[in-house]
Structure 1
Amino acid sequence: MELSWWTLGAGALIALLVVVIWSIRRHRDPKLNIECDAPIDQLTLSLAGLTLGTPVGGNSVQLLQNGRFFDVLIERIGAARKTVHFETFLWKDGELGRRLAAALCERARAGCQVRVMLDATGSRKAGKDVIQQLREAGCQVKFFHKRSLRNLGVINNRDHRKLCVLDGREAFAGGHCIVDDWLGDAEDGRHFADLSVWLHGPCVHTMQSVFSENWAGETGELFVGDDVFPKLHHAGDYTIHAAFAKPENSAPTVKILHHTALCIARKRIWIQNPYFIPEPQAIEAFAAAVRRGVDVRVLMPSTSGSDNPIVQYAGHRNFERLLRAGVKLYEYPHTLLHQKVMTIDGVWSAIGSSNFDDRSFETNDEVTLAICGEPLARELDAVWEKYAARARRMELDRWLRRPWWHKARENVFYLAKTLL
């Protein structure tokens, strides 16, 4: 049977679309490289400049672990007087969601301007009654990339950020989600571990800018004035900048920040991340760091500890290369370790919403804070050591003996890594 012109035309159109998509991705995924001998704590201006940010000094940073984060967050929301800006990826109806909703509603009724940005995919189970409760109290609630024909081309792009800005004077950022599993203290397999930071000082303006990006994109509203951008004063000794932009025809700044840090580390790279699927370029950077004498360690949940074992299997595909390169890999089986943290040389830290995978580096809207200062790095390394003490270190010889069906899963799930 001869092919019709319609069939040939459709085939040609599909081929053209594949080339267009490949071309778009290629232009946003350049091969990054850097040569530098300076220590990372002397490169704050460079790191900020490469990631389209501005470093600001004079900030305080308080690390908040596990369920205690929500106690502080909800208490501080209750103390807001002018504005509450809240943004998250994952919100599921439950005890925590209703506690937070009650706090937001109370502030709205008290006269605060409350703006809430939720990812349409991650927060689809927030509960219709909760959303209605928020709106009836006067909160503005918007969904990022709501499912519609208008958003068909960006439906896979998600707002993965987790942040809150209060009166433009204090901010929270990190990995915590609005789900009951995040309550407690990671004491069992039903309660997760996570880290966020509580910020004061000039860097709060940056966090307000991060929130305004997607808010303006979804609503068209631009907010100005002292209620959102007040004059801020020195609050501590940390210098901070945020990576969050995704410029056209260039690598997203979150990816640039992480890759540059890997390439300039001189002593150690310690990573805590729940979804660790490094791409080949990152694997090469890890291997080069080990050759330089850098102590490279990665702590992640095992398949039994993960909320999404498929992601862990996808990550397993490159374990052999990493282990052969000398990277030390640790899997925690007891619960989900959801913190997204990297420390470099004991003096510099990255913390935020970004997973170490293609989806976070290439597709999602994320925010990672680059924080220069030894005290926070020591705190984060102590958290690493606390959980690593109960983790299993992966050994190359044993890893090579894993069953064939495990290898088959790795390869199958790795093919879908950008969709996980």
Structure 2
Amino acid sequence: MSEVFSKVARLTVRHALMLGVMAIALLAFTGCASLPDYVDRPVSTAIKPEVATSLGDLVKSRRQGVRPGYSGFALIDSADSAYSSRLALTEQAEKTLDIQYYAIHSDPSTRELLRAVRQAAARGVRVRILLDDFHSTGENAQIMRMAFVPGVEMRMFNPLPGRRGSGTLRALGSLNDFMRIQHRMHNKVYIADNAWGITGGRNLGDAYFGHAQESNFIDMDVLAAGPIVQDMSASFDRYWNDKLAYPVPSLITADELKVLRDAARQAEAPPVDRKVVADLPAAMDLKNEPLIWASAALLVDKPAKLVPEENEQVTEKEQDTVIDGLLSWMQQARQDVLIVSPYFVPGPKMMEFLAAMRARGVRIRILTNSLASNDAPLAHVGYARYRQDLIKMGVELHEMRALQREMARTVFGSSGGGSKASLHAKMIVIDGRLISIGSMNLDLRSQLQNSEVALLIRSRALSSQASKLIEQTLDEGAWKLKLNEGDGDLVWQAPPGADFDDARTEPDASRMLRLILWLLGPLAPDEML
């Protein structure tokens, strides 16, 4: 996700038992927190497409001569364009802004973007912000102050009860509701005036906009204009009006947020990084941004996916989900499937799908993170179980390298002292004509537990653009995995002419991290990673 996998979702069985005991002790001292029983959720929906706005008029002017039903698309393939496109929608919105994310971080770039959101609200734009609740603790809890800005409504999806000073303590206090809290809203959409929208892999934060000090994400979004945006708005409305969406004032007061902020400032007062703000790009020129017009469909999980029936077992059964839909489209491939998934934990059923495709002669190429570039190392454990079988069935498997070789990976995250890269884009290109871009990983967590969203676009031009970007990474910045002919062990093969070497062990990863993951691997079930 990184998004970052939820702490609770990464627990092994042994960890869960240990934390359960701690939680019982904790609750004995703190009391049992709970969510409010009665919550007022006024229903609201997107504006009608016929409502006149400048952004809507811009779409109409740019659609002249375009086939009816087609929408316009542009790949958002850089950190600068990720920020500038969202800023453009914010600054040009006249009626509504709908913002839905798994994580919004309280850091310089996001605070600057939210400043523009507040300005939009001040000029009369109705702003709705829907945020998954898992990461809204500590400094990130301050994002909830947006709920108390005039003209802004904010709701938290599938919230955890308890105080927000510590994410770990809040998770511990919620272990009695473990099955619910591990299901997270992973959707990501940013919509202006029901006319233009953005979806893809990025959350909102410095690491997604290229300004984190330690590690930044390589990610991909897509800018959309036209009829498909109405489907994005309808999806937002379903989640916004769902019973799992709690208005922020029902969970915390403005005074409580102020107390949290003051406590954080006393403990540590991080300086405002004015260089980040100064380096942020200006708003994208939507009037002249090249668009590719094509037919498309929006795949969206239902909010009910996050509230399984009581006593229902989470299994790899057939479901009407985003991942199932994408797998069905992949099964129709005739020649080539190119997959980018930061966390790739296929599970037995998906392995059967891939084997059937290979049996029909379909070429399958997969780009995922190496252990050193993975921001969620335990997710790498589930993926590693399948590597040799994937290679044996003829899948071409590639792992992206972190950009800074000297930055050894530790079990607690990236070491300091520079910048590195972590793959975070989620894409599938089928036969060079059909492309999916969204929030989903090809793993059991995205299939069974998180809600996801993806745009499926039928366009050779857009597929070609994305394929070239992916193939450039394969040719210059990723290892291709092979099996040694002698002992059958894995070999990481660097591209010809690369400035990094082949490897026989997880490249650039510390011995300690490799040892810990080797020890914990057998205890970590695929669907929890």
Give the TM-score category using the shorter length: 0.7 to 0.9
Q: Distance in 2 between matches of 1:289 and 1:282?
A: 11
Q: TM-score, length-normalised on structure 1?
A: 0.77
Q: Check whether the contact 2:125–2:151 (CA below 8 A) recurs between aligned residues.
A: no
Contact 1:91 / 1:125 at 8 angstroms: preserved in 2?
Answer: no
Q: Secondary structure at the match of 1:336?
A: strand
Question: Which residue does 1:396 correspond to in 2?
Answer: 483
After superposition, the CA RMSD in angstroms is 2.7
Match for residue 239 of structure 2? 214
Name the counterpart of 2:124: 111
Q: What is the distance in 2 between the residues matched to 1:263 and 1:185?
A: 39
Contact 1:346/1:374 (CA < 8 Å) preserved in 2? yes
Whether 2:446 is the aligned partner of 1:378: answer no
Task: Report the equivalent of 1:310.
Answer: 378
Partner of 1:172 in structure 2?
198
The 1:339–1:245 alpha-carbon spacing in structure 2 relative to 1, beyond 3 Å, is same
For 1:65, the equivalent position in structure 2 comes to 77
In structure 1, runs of 5+ residues without a counterpart are 1-55, 222-234
Residue 188 (structure 2) pairs with residue 162 (structure 1): yes
Matched residue count? 350
Q: Deviations over 1:207-240 (max 9, x none)?
A: 001111110004599xxxxxxxxxxxxx963111
Q: Which secondary structure does the structure 1 equivalent of 2:70 belong to?
A: strand
Q: Give, in angstroms, the shift of residue 417 of structure 1.
A: 3.0
Aligned equivalents of 1:122, 1:73: Cα separation in 2: 22
Q: Which moved more, 1:112-121 or 1:102-111?
A: 102-111
1-structure distance, mates of 2:155, 2:127: 11
Deviations along 1:169-218, whole A, 9 cap, x unmatched?
A: 111100111121112399x9722110001101111110001111110004
Alpha-carbon contact 2:157-2:246 (below 8 Å) kept: no
Alignment of 1:187-198 (within 5 A): 190-198=215-223
Give 1:80's aligned residue: 93
3-state SS of the aligned residue for 1:287? helix
d(CA) in 1 for partners of 2:140, 2:505: 42
In 1, the alpha carbon distance for the partners of 2:430 and 2:139 equals 37
Percent identical among aligned pairs is 25
Amino acid at match of 1:207: M
Displacement of 1:126: 5.8
Amino acid at match of 1:340: K
Q: 1:399, 1:352 → 2: CA distance?
A: 31
Amino acid at match of 2:431: D
The one-letter code matched in structure 2 to 1:57 is G
Alignment partners' CA distance in 1, 2:463 and 2:388: 29
Q: 1:254 to 1:128 in 2, by over 3 A?
A: closer
8 Å CA contact retained: 1:201, 1:236? no
User: How far is the alpha carbon of 1:411 from its aligned partner?
Assistant: 3.7
Structure 2 contact 159–246 (Cα < 8 Å) conserved: no
Q: Is the 8 A contact 1:298 1:329 kept in 2?
A: yes
User: What is aligned with 1:140?
Assistant: 153
Q: Which residue of 1 aligns with 2:209?
A: 183
User: How far apart, CA to CA, are the structure 1 residues paired with 2:186 and 2:136?
Assistant: 11
Between stretches 188-197 and 295-304, larger displacement belongs to 188-197
Partner deviation per Cα, 1:14-57 (whole Å, 9 max, x = no partner): xxxxxxxxxxxxxxxxxxxxxxxxxxxxxxxxxxxxxxxxxx93
Q: Cα distance, 1:151 vs. partner?
A: 7.1
CA–CA separation in structure 1 for the residues paired with 2:353 and 2:519: 26
- Are 1:145 and 1:151, in contact at CA under 8 Å, matched by a contact in 2? no
* Cα distance change on mapping 1:219 and 1:407 into 2, 3 Å: closer
Distance in 1, Cα, partners of 2:292 & 2:399? 35
Give unpaired runs (5+ residues) of structure 2.
1-67, 162-173, 248-290, 306-316, 403-420, 492-503, 507-513
For the 8 Å contact 1:84–1:164, the answer to whether it is kept is: yes
Measure the CA separation in 2 of the matches of 1:411 and 1:138: 48
Q: Say if 2:301 is the partner of 1:245.
A: yes
Secondary structure of 2:103's counterpart equals coil
Report the TM-score when normalising by structure 2. Answer: 0.62
* Separation in 2, partners of 1:189, 1:124: 21
Distance in 1 separating the partners of 2:365 and 2:390: 10
SS at match of 1:356: coil
CA-to-partner distance for each residue in 1:334-369, whole Å, 9 max, x for gaps? 221100000000000111000111111111111011
Change (3 A) 1:124 1:239: farther
- Counterpart of 2:522, as a letter, is V
Residue 365 (structure 1) aligned with residue 377 (structure 2): no
Following the alignment from structure 1 to structure 2, what is the Cα–Cα distance between the partners of residues 152 and 308?
20
| Alpha-carbon distance between aligned partners in 1 of 2:126 and 2:103, rounded to the nearest angstrom | 22
Q: Which amino acid aligns with 1:167?
A: D
Once the two structures are TM-superposed, the CA of residue 380 in structure 1 deviates from its matched residue by 1.1
The 8 Å contact of residues 132 and 186 in structure 2, kept in 1 or not, is answered as yes
8 Å Cα contact 2:323/2:440 also seen in 1: no
1:32-71 counterparts in 2 under 5 A?
Answer: 57-67=69-79, 68-71=81-84
